[in-house]
């Protein structure tokens, strides 16, 4: 009986009905007032529960409690320039060689002048002796707005899914990097990973983050060993970055993404410059891509019950299907929600594993 259970909704409805009965029938004014206040609170919780059931944000009570108490994802805080094969591997003992490691790092971009925290998941192989001199491919994962990198771990459980797939040898090992995509703008939509609104988010995510990760970890430099993926706003970011920097990523995974930049608080990005707007519009970029263009492969996913997401993905697929690989997976009985993205994570990781260049 998780937070999204129908039993939670039924319990709240019965509680509201009971409080409404007390409010109407009890002879004491003080108790009627108390019942009225409590019924308002129950109605508010019911609304929140309906939204949670729709989006499948909290699937366990522990997730809700962690969020309410501000508990962070359990991650080792690494210094700004960690030693890629030194102290982490030595202290790792057998556990990291079996489960991998989630680390929090601070990434200060010299080109964008943006400094934000990121989560990094190093696979078990990173700590195993036979890989001690190996560089690893990277999947850069972009969250939605509002949201944080921790959504990939706390809600989508991508580290656990990845571990299971690695154990079954269904995927090859690579590093997961989950940067913070928005700075001052945290509402939906956020900065949409654009070099606009006073912050150079595109430069930060497509240049600074890859350079810092390949410097601080045993990771390949950006290129054919890198992929980018995201959900919702992060899906738009993945599509836009992959088409704007096609030689930087071998693959892009777009989970319920959109393909035109959205207005932010009524203001259209690059409204002053139509050329910049077109240069940051995945549909426009896809339309003008040629058969000779060097393009990443794409993986599209949408909740089958979300007509808008499916239609947008199909339009994007139609523009690129003759120019690059671009499958579309529709998750039955889901909408624009974590339920769809959770179900799609294994296939996304499988796709990325086959698309990026193998370890040498």
Same domain, 103 and 15: no
- Cβ–Cβ under 8 Å, residues 308 and 121: no
Mean pLDDT of all residues in 68-80: 65
- The verdict on residue 326 lying in a domain is yes
Same domain for 57 and 91, yes or no, is: no
Asked if 132 contacts 140 with a C-beta cutoff of 8 angstroms, the reply is no
On the question of pLDDT at 57 being above 80, the answer is: no
Residues 44 and 114 in one domain: no
Does residue 269 sit in the same domain as residue 139? yes
Contact partners, residue 225, CB within 8 Å, separation at least 6: 135, 137, 138, 250, 356, 357
Residue 231 structure tokens: 């959900």
Pair of tokens at residue 338: 């974590």
pLDDT tens digits for 277-296? 999 999 999 999 886 678 99
- CB 287, CB 253: distance < 8 Å: no
Q: What is the pLDDT of residue 221?
A: 96
Res. 70: pLDDT tops 60: no
- Domain final position from 43, 67, 91: 67
Do 19 and 146 fall within a single domain? no
Contact 89, 184 (CB under 8 A): no
Q: Looking at per-residue confidence, does 266 or 136 come out higher? A: 136
pLDDT band at 66 (very low <50, low <70, confident <90, very high): low
Structure tokens at 146: 């509002």
Q: What is the mean pLDDT of residues 162-180?
A: 97
**Averaged over 164-180, what is the pLDDT?**
97
Q: Is 185 exposed, middle or buried (0-12, 13-18, 19+ CB in 10 A)?
A: middle
The CATH code of the domain that includes 336 is: 3.40.50.1820
pLDDT at 268: 84
User: Considering 48, 67, 86, which residue would you say is the last residue of a domain?
Assistant: 67
Residue 330 to residue 328: CA distance in whole angstroms: 7
52: confidence class by pLDDT, cuts 50, 70, 90: low
85, pLDDT greater than 50: no
Q: Looking at residue 304, what is its pLDDT?
A: 97
The verdict on 61 and 168 lying in the same domain is: no
Q: What is the pLDDT of residue 90?
A: 41
User: What mean pLDDT comes out for the span 212-240?
Assistant: 96
Residues 40, 123 within the same domain? no
Query: pLDDT value at position 175?
Result: 97
Same domain flag for 156 and 229:
yes
Which domain does 13 fall in, by range?
Answer: 6-67
Query: What is the phi/psi pair of residue 164, to 5°?
Result: -65, -40
The bridge status of strand 297-303 relative to strand 195-196 is: unpaired
Rounded distance, CA 64 to CA 59, Å? 8
* Residue 108 within a domain: yes
pLDDT digits (tens, 9 = 90+) for 303-347: 999 999 999 999 999 999 999 999 999 999 999 999 999 999 999
User: Do residues 90 and 124 both lie within one domain?
Assistant: yes
- Here the tokens at position 184 are 């001052």
> What is the phi/psi pair of residue 303, to 5°?
-70, 125
Burial 42-52 (b: 16+ CB within 10 A, else e): bbeebeebeeb
How would residue 300 be classed by pLDDT, with cut points 50, 70 and 90? very high
**CA nearest 73: which of 177, 157, 175?**
157
**pLDDT of 115:** 94
**What is the rounded average pLDDT of the residues 7-18?**
82
What percent of the chain lies above the pLDDT cut of 90? 61
Residue written as token pair 């947008």:
312
Q: How many domains, in total, are found in the chain?
A: 2
Query: What are the Cα distances from residue 119, in Å, to 20, 143, 231, 344?
Result: 47, 11, 16, 21
Does residue 203 lie in a domain region? yes
The verdict on 35 and 172 lying in the same domain is no
pTM for the model stands at 0.84
Query: Where is mean pLDDT largest: 6-15, 66-75, 232-241?
Result: 232-241
Q: Is the pLDDT of residue 86 over 50?
A: no
Which of these three, 24, 51, 67, is where a domain ends? Answer: 67
The yes-or-no verdict on residue 170 having pLDDT over 50 is yes
- Higher-pLDDT residue of 318 and 57 is 318
Residue 360 lies in a domain: no
For 89-109, write each residue's pLDDT tens digit. Answer: 445 455 888 899 999 999 999
CA separation for the pair 104, 82 (Å, rounded): 11
Please indicate, yes or no, if residue 145 is contained in any of the structural domains: yes
- Lowest pLDDT segment from 119-128, 201-210, 258-267, 333-342: 258-267
The conformational region for residue 236 under phi > 0 = left, psi -120 to 50 = alpha, else beta, is alpha
Helix (H) or strand (E) holding 114: none
Same domain for 159 and 289?
yes
* 155 plus 208 within the same structural domain: yes
pLDDT for the residue numbered 215: 93
Q: What is the mean pLDDT of the chain?
A: 87
């Amino acid at each position: 009986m998780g937070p999204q259970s129908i039993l939670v909704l039924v319990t709240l409805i019965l509680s509201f009905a009971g409080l409404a009965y007390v409010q109407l029938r009890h002879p004491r004014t003080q108790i009627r007032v108390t019942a009225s206040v409590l019924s308002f609170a129950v109605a508010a919780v019911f609304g929140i529960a309906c939204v949670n059931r729709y989006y499948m944000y909290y699937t366990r009570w522990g997730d809700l409690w962690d969020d309410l108490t501000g508990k962070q994802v359990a991650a080792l805080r690494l210094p700004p320039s960690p030693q890629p094969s030194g102290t982490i591997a030595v202290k790792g003992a057998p556990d990291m060689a079996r489960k991998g490691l989630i680390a929090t790092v601070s990434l200060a971009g010299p080109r964008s002048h943006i400094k934000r925290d990121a989560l990094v998941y190093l696979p078990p192989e990173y700590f195993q002796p036979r890989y001690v001199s190996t560089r690893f491919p990277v999947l850069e994962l972009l969250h939605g707005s509002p949201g944080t990198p921790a959504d990939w771990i706390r809600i989508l459980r991508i580290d656990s899914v990845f571990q299971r797939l690695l154990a079954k040898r269904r995927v090859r090992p690579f590093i997961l990097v989950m940067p913070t995509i928005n700075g001052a703008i945290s509402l939906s939509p956020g900065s949409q990973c654009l070099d606009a609104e006073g912050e150079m988010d595109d430069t930060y995510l497509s240049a600074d983050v890859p350079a810092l990760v390949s410097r601080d970890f045993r990771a390949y430099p950006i290129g054919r060993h890198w992929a980018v993926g995201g959900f919702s706003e992060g899906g738009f970011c993945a599509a836009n970055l992959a088409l704007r920097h096609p030689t930087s990523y071998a693959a892009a995974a777009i989970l319920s993404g959109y393909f035109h930049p959205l207005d932010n608080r009524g203001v259209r990005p690059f409204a002053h410059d139509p050329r910049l707007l077109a240069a940051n519009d995945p549909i426009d970029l896809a339309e003008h891509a040629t058969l000779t263009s060097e393009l990443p492969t794409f993986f599209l996913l949408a909740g089958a019950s979300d007509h808008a997401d499916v239609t947008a993905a199909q339009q994007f697929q139609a523009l690129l299907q003759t120019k690059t690989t671009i499958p579309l997976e529709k998750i039955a009985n889901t909408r624009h929600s974590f339920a769809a993205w959770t179900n799609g994570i294994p296939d996304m990781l499988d796709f990325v594993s086959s698309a990026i260049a193998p370890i040498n």
